[in-house]
Amino acid sequence: MFNRVNWKKAFIQAAAVGLIFCLGLALVVGGFVLVNYDHLGRFMRVVYLIDTQYLNGTSRAGLVDGAIDGMVGSLDPYSSFQDAEENKVLMNSIQGTFGGIGVHLSTADPEKLVVMRPIKGSPAERAGLEAGDIITKIDETDVSTISQDEAVAILRGEPGSKVTVKIYRPKTKTEFTVSLIRDYINVPTVEGISLPGRSDIGLIDISSFNINTGDELEKVLREMDLTKYKGLIIDLRYNYGGEVNAAIKVASFLVPEGSIVHIVNRNGVVDTKESTAEYIDMPIVILTNEYTASAAEIVSGAVKDYGSGALVGTKTYGKGVVQTVFTLDGNTSVKLTTDKYLTPKKNDINKLGIKPDVEVELKEGEKPTILPTEPVFDSQLSKAVEVLLQKIQ
């Protein structure tokens, strides 16, 4: 989950054997972050050794990018440096349009590239990729040797270009390789249907949160015509999160007027975000699982605290921290963990997750039915229907 902030760079200039090295400093709450110059000695010594002793040629820009990457990457699993290509990928993700294979990927485990779900109509869906598949190799690159951001940057590319991925499918313990042709991917994050076999129940799937998600939900609700329904099921399973303001708007539809989330910065300053949309006053069930994370947990936590709906499924992932994207020079950026968030009742869910009101797991080998076209549902969706019918009757 992240915000995007542009910031002015301040520079510390340290001279060593004719080298001027610039460190970007964040301008935070009216004051500069202070740096202890003593710690730069070893760094400058290494730069000098590379400059004078290293066998192969180096690029000064590459050294600086590598230093920033290592520095930021040492902080926590969610903070990262984005070079020009990775930053483009990140911004495209926030905006919701890019060239690629069309998969939602989990950010929950930084060590793995797990497919949350293929995007409807995408090359990945046509190739048969499924939720839970693990991408282990992209062309000749072993995914275990690169970061998630780097892997995503490789997966994306010009529409019409070819990429080969190696897949491990845990549920069948099989490996296979598939070649895909990249395409334009416009990511609809919200889709809604009438539940097959129950025209009086609406089913809405929210796959992730980008800057358009709140508006998309508003549009879907309008097109579905809520007067036709007695209740709604909102599917947040396999939703890894995303843009915080989008989550606030989505949650605003699902809880009465009031606080949605409390965002707490490093100094303990609390920024309480209030409802920004008109509350849907009807029976609601939220589907969650262990891949429901970050911004999706803002929505789940708000609904649970207000009691405006029932949570059904399994405990959520437990990512209660917020990343802010700071643009460095227009082409690169750093994504830093800057805040934590608390639910409306000020519960801290980080590393704990949110326990559903009704706990039910998928059976072994059972595939989730996301927006099913037939009245055949997985165990969690079936239970969600059962719980909703109890609320309606």
Active site residues: 294, 305, 319
Listing DSSP states for 185-240 in one string gives EE---EEEEEETTEEEEEEEEE--B-TTHHHHHHHHHHHHTGGG-SEEEEE-TT--
C-alpha 279/C-alpha 254 separation (Å) is 6
C-alpha 385/C-alpha 393 separation (Å) is 12
Write out the two tokens for 139: 């062309």
User: Looking at residue 147, what DSSP letter applies?
Assistant: -
Q: Using CB atoms within 10 Å of the CB of residue 207, give its burial: 0 to 12 exposed, 13 to 18 middle, 19+ buried.
A: buried
C-alpha 80/C-alpha 148 separation (Å) is 10
106 in Cβ contact with 116 (< 8 Å)? yes
Torsion (CA) 366, 299, 310, 388 in degrees, nearest 10: -70
If you compute the radius of gyration of the chain from its CA atoms, what whole number of angstroms results?
23
Q: Which residue from 248, 302, 235 is spatially nearest to 1, judged by alpha carbons? A: 248
**Structure-token match 């969650």, residue found:** 288
